[in-house]
Amino acid sequence: MTDFIIHKQKRNKILEMVKEEQKVRYSKGIQEAYTEQYYNQKENPNYNNISIEAEIQKYILRQFGFKDDENSLQEYWKIPSTYWNDEEIKNNIFYMKLNIFKYPKISINDNYIDTRLLNYTTNTEVFLSGLQTHDRPFVLLAGSMT
Q: Which residues pair with 125 in a beta bridge?
A: 118
Instruction: Say which DSSP state 3 is in.
Output: -
pLDDT value of position 133: 82
Cβ(127)–Cβ(116) below 8 Å: yes
pLDDT value of position 6: 94
Instruction: Say which DSSP state 125 is in.
Output: E
pLDDT in tens, 87-139: 888 888 765 554 444 455 666 677 777 888 877 788 888 888 888 888 887 77
Quick one: the chain helix, strand, coil %, rounded to 5?
Answer: 45, 5, 45
- In whole angstroms, give the CA distance from residue 14 to residue 18: 6
pLDDT value of position 100: 47
- Is residue 31 scored above 50 in pLDDT? yes
pLDDT value of position 1: 92
Q: Which residues pair with 118 in a beta bridge?
A: 125
Amino acid sitting at position 113: I
pTM: 0.63
pLDDT value of position 139: 77
Spatial CA neighbour of 19 closest among 121, 118, 91, 119? 91
- In whole angstroms, give the CA distance from residue 115 to residue 130: 10
pLDDT in tens, 48-75: 778 888 899 999 999 999 999 999 999 9
DSSP H/E element including 124: strand 124-127
